[in-house]
Structure 1
Amino acid sequence: MLINPHSRIGKDSDIAEGVALLREAGTEVLIHYLDDSTTAEELIENNHKDIQLVIIGGGDGTINSALPALYRHKLRFAILPMGTANDLARSLEISPDIDDAFRIIYENNYRKINLGIVNGRYFFNVAHIGLGVEVTKELTPDLKKKWGVFSYLKAIFSAFHNQKKFFVSIKSNGNNYRLRSIQLAVGSGRYYGGGNIIAEESEIDDGLLHLYSLYPQGFWQMLASAPLLRFGKHKQIRRTFTLASQDMEIVTAPTLEIHADGEHISHTPALFTVIPQALEVVCAAPPH
């Protein structure tokens, strides 16, 4: 079990009851608190021969940091949602209540999920270019602790006033697309940014990448589209481009940063691909 004490509620969460539940079921639980001296990837790498399940207590960024080792050793993992957005947990219908999350781990239902790759780096929710990157920069640890999931609304408002237009070229499925944009997102999962949906039809195990790009527009135009953007209804918005594919090559002018799962991971030009059913992750039981 890897706990990030710097995640939004990582330091304050009481895990004793949940750990006791697992130990009473005969599970040996080893607990590590992450700090500057070691990373989640290193801990998994050093212990992978002796473990069957990695439980990660933190936000989406903490989970992202563990992805290389999880995929390399094909380890099943579970989530204690202790971050701000907890979008992967949301995709898996895992309750934000820590005791409920432990019960889901105890029940041990799982599903296989997509794993996105951009320029050799893994991600599981959404990668951003443009406005979404500025939103990530506005999301300081203090802002997230103070505002919780509403910090994303405040960050979007601040970031929009600093956003810049850019040109983008997309190659996919044998087609070339050239457009102007203020925000481009590529999703391997379903949710991002505290519950926004990348595409109405997207699923975390559908084996596809889903892209949308917003053409340059004013703040009030974007605000009017916000409900449709929130629920992934991008195809109903006139000033939006959408695409679904297993691979995409993206070039921008100028060169821009790429952030995914709340972290800076690369820059353009970028090659996006997806590995279908790449990882096993514990999830809520399907409804009967």
Structure 2
Amino acid sequence: MIKPLPKQAVLIVNAMSRKGADAFEQARDLLVESGVELLATHAIKDPDALRPAVCQALAEKAPMIIVGGGDGSLSSTIDDFLGTDTVFALLPLGTANSFSRTLGIPQDLEGAVRVIAEGRKLRIDLGSIDGDYFANAAAMGLSPMIAETVPHKLKRTLGMIGYLIWAARVAIQFKPFRLTIDDGSTIHRTWATEVRIFNGRFHGGIELTDNACVQSGQIMVQAVTGRSLFGLAWSWFATLFKLRSREQTVTEYKGTSLKLSARPQQKISVDGELCASTPCEVSVARAAVWVAAPVPA
């Protein structure tokens, strides 16, 4: 049974995201034209003010809160929706927009608004790293190095191309690491060049796995094994072009809870933002929040 979305909402846009400053007024007008009653609208220019604005709307029991921004903005606010009936809706205004791709939301503003106006309520899982919830994906290895050092202007101006340019620059500083995964019954040890922790299917705007789902009730860890930077580059290339050999470049582990450690210690980027490190426990919060999603074809 399809559950319809509320027709009243609060709109909160991170105006510092790649497209946020230009999209706020257009999104507001499109939502109103589509029949969504906006109880309040906020264009947030201070990133630290984004979460308080969401929490205020939640405290006022808004039926739906529309957050416009990149994956970092979405992940930093979605865990506040746990334990509420408020629907989390999103406008993909960042660089990679991995979470919106996982949900099947169009990447253009008009299409995303159409989902909010005509879509359905969907109950989804959230991933968790030591109790800090995230929407889509986390990673250790090269990705956190990029997230920690990439200039904001480069990311804002060039988008995915900017990421690739910066990745080539920081790759020369990269070193493989020894990874340990405890799934509760077996301890797995391997050399790795990158580890992805999936709730959804996308990371960096690229579909990296077919085997993760936001309604599976499991968290998935995907390791690019080996010690070669060339092997990591080949894994990304094979995945980007969906070659049959891509599954041979990674090893996947699934469960409701997995313990990860690494030597040397690794930083972890969560939905593009650096905010965790090993050792850690990754787990899944089953059917944690309501989101706005497209109606199945």
The TM-score normalised by the length of structure 2 is: 0.87
Mapped contact 1:93–1:284 kept (Cα < 8 A): yes
CA distance in 2, matches of 1:280, 1:55: 12
Per the TM alignment, residue 254 of structure 1 is displaced from its structure 2 partner at its CA by 2.0
- Who is 1:17 aligned against? 29
- After superposition, where does 1:28-47 map in structure 2 within 5 Å? 28-36=38-46, 38-47=48-57
- Who is 1:89 aligned against? 100
2:109 partner amino acid = I
- Who is 2:204 aligned against? 193
- Who is 2:281 aligned against? 271
Is 1:224 the counterpart of 2:269? The answer is no
- Who is 2:191 aligned against? 180
Mapped contact 2:12–2:54 kept (Cα < 8 A): no
**Relative to 1, partners in 2 of residues 1:103 and 1:144: Cα closer, same or farther, differing over 3 Å?**
same
Segments of 5+ residues of structure 2 without an aligned counterpart are 1-10
Mapped contact 2:99–2:135 kept (Cα < 8 A): yes
- Who is 2:257 aligned against? 247
Mapped contact 1:133–1:259 kept (Cα < 8 A): yes
Mapped contact 1:196–1:232 kept (Cα < 8 A): no
- Who is 1:164 aligned against? 175
Q: C-alpha root-mean-square deviation of aligned residues, in Å?
A: 2.2
**Relative to 1, partners in 2 of residues 1:253 and 1:234: Cα closer, same or farther, differing over 3 Å?**
farther
- Who is 1:58 aligned against? 69
> What secondary structure is seen at the aligned counterpart in 2 of 1:237?
helix
Mapped contact 2:15–2:21 kept (Cα < 8 A): yes
Per the TM alignment, residue 108 of structure 1 is displaced from its structure 2 partner at its CA by 3.2
Per the TM alignment, residue 50 of structure 1 is displaced from its structure 2 partner at its CA by 3.4
Per the TM alignment, residue 235 of structure 1 is displaced from its structure 2 partner at its CA by 6.7
- Who is 1:104 aligned against? 115
> What secondary structure is seen at the aligned counterpart in 2 of 1:205?
coil
Q: What's the CA shift string for 1:118-159, capped at 9, x where partnerless?
A: 012111111111122112234332122222222332233223
Number of aligned residues: 283
> What secondary structure is seen at the aligned counterpart in 2 of 1:19?
helix
CA distance in 2, matches of 1:250, 1:259: 14
- After superposition, where does 1:102-141 map in structure 2 within 5 Å? 102-141=113-152
Residue 214 of structure 1: which of 198, 220, 224 is its match? 224
CA distance in 1, matches of 2:195, 2:290: 28
> What secondary structure is seen at the aligned counterpart in 1 of 2:22?
coil
Q: Larger strand proportion, structure 1 or 2?
A: 2
The TM-score normalised by the length of structure 1 is: 0.90
> What secondary structure is seen at the aligned counterpart in 2 of 1:182?
strand
Per the TM alignment, residue 74 of structure 1 is displaced from its structure 2 partner at its CA by 4.1
- Percent identical across equivalent pairs? 23
